[in-house]
Amino acid sequence: MPSCGIIGLPMVGKTTVFNLLTGTRKETSKFFTGKTESNQGLAAVRDRRVDFLANLYRPRKTTYAQIEFVDVPGLVRGASEGLGVGNTFLDGIRQVDALVHVVRAFAADLEHVEGSVDPLRDVHTIAYELLMADVSFVDKRLSRLNEGKKRSAQTEQEIELLTRILTHLESEQPFSTFALLPEEEKLLTSYTFLTGKPLIMVVNLDDEQFVTGTYPRKEELQSYAEERGLPLLEMSANTELEVSELDGPERDEFLAELKLDVPGIDRVARASYQVLGLISFFTVGEDEVRAWTVRAGTTAKQAAGKIHSDLERGFIRAEVMRYADLESYGSAVKLKEKGLVSLEGKDYIVSDGDICSIRFNV
């Protein structure tokens, strides 16, 4: 299952964001405790299309797409050199597919590990520690390769490539901006670069900042994110906690007062889904309406395997409706009358929002 690591300095609201995403209640503290363990949980990716399909088919069960989130220990300046719980932090995020960086903008009566609230400084601190961790990683790998007694042609190619990557990183450029040829990508299949992972920035505001839309260094943060092509989301964890405790009309009314269509935490989950290059296709019926997660470019046969291995093994055809068509016409019967239901073969590339029924024989 795709996973996102929630990162940031201590005392920025990471665990609160994790709790909101996963519906859990892991303990938070008003004091820096040097926590060393990671928390893991699943977050539903709320989707109005699933809600529409559930209202249409009235199934016994409704299932949203899911992403795993990992709340890793807080990072401190010098973590790439092992300070604080740096090694635990780096080990925790090396296995995830994307990063959600929670940045503190709220002041409150809460200590800050750097002694003051400065969101842009904190963003640079995290970025630097990730970069230095990659530098250390590549440097150690180069040392091992150079010390090896047997050096094949592939080893020489790897050394040359890693040397260029090290120069790139030491110029304070993330791995994500290093251009790779297809054959070079093959040499790096076993490598994990922290600065190569997709990243989302989430600015955690207090209630007043959230209402007014103002907080320290906002414009500079926005420029930083825009220059690097990073999604930048603003939310108030405290406000989100209030939203999460409301149901039905009260919740909708509160969101309307805040001029929000959906809670901020749902936007975080959706953005995480998108930066991972994921899409949803749906299966529908009286038993269940369900969103299935696949990567963009997945074929119909591969998508069938997400539902059950037998469907992939015995795949014949996929009967496909487009969500937008079903929303417009209101029923599968009308879509068939309009010729808007297609039969697709195993090599059909599934699109986001496809509603699929798999024909198979085993």
Please report the DSSP string for 110-162 in residue order: ---TTSS--HHHHHHHHHHHHHHHHHHHHHHHHHHHHH-S---HHHHHHHHHH
Pairing relationship of beta strands 65-71 and 61-63 according to DSSP bridges: unpaired
- Residue 256: per-residue pLDDT: 79
- Residue 241: per-residue pLDDT: 83
- Residue 84: per-residue pLDDT: 47
How many residues in the chain? 362
- Residue 2: per-residue pLDDT: 84
pLDDT per residue, tens digit, the chain (362 aa), is 789 999 998 889 888 899 988 887 655 544 444 455 678 899 889 899 999 999 999 999 999 999 999 888 766 665 555 544 455 567 668 889 999 999 999 987 777 777 788 999 999 999 998 998 899 889 999 999 888 777 788 889 999 999 999 999 999 999 999 999 988 898 898 889 999 999 999 999 998 898 888 999 999 999 999 999 999 999 998 888 888 777 777 777 877 777 777 778 888 989 999 999 999 999 999 999 999 999 999 999 999 999 999 999 999 999 999 999 999 999 999 999 999 999 999 999 999 999 999 999 98
- Residue 62: per-residue pLDDT: 96
- Residue 247: per-residue pLDDT: 77
Buried b (16+ CB within 10 A) or exposed e, 51-80: eebbeebebeebbbbbbbbbbbbbbbbebb
- Which tokens in the block code for residue 185? 């990508």
Task: Return the CATH fold of 297-360.
Answer: Ubiquitin-like (UB roll) (3.10.20)
Question: Could you state, in order of their start, the residue ranges of all structural domains in the chain?
Answer: 3-119+196-275, 131-195, 297-360
**pTM across the whole model:** 0.86
Q: Domain spanning 3-119+196-275 has what CATH number?
A: 3.40.50.300
Contact 312, 302 (CB under 8 A): yes
For residues 289 and 353, give the distance between their C-alpha atoms in angstroms, rounded to a whole number: 13
DSSP per-residue codes, 40-57: EEEEEE--HHHHHHHHHH
Q: Tell me the CATH class for 131-195.
A: mainly alpha
Give 3-state DSSP helix, strand, coil % of the chain, rounded to 5: 45, 20, 35
- Residue 82: per-residue pLDDT: 52
Helix pair angle (264-275, 14-22), 10° resolution? 90
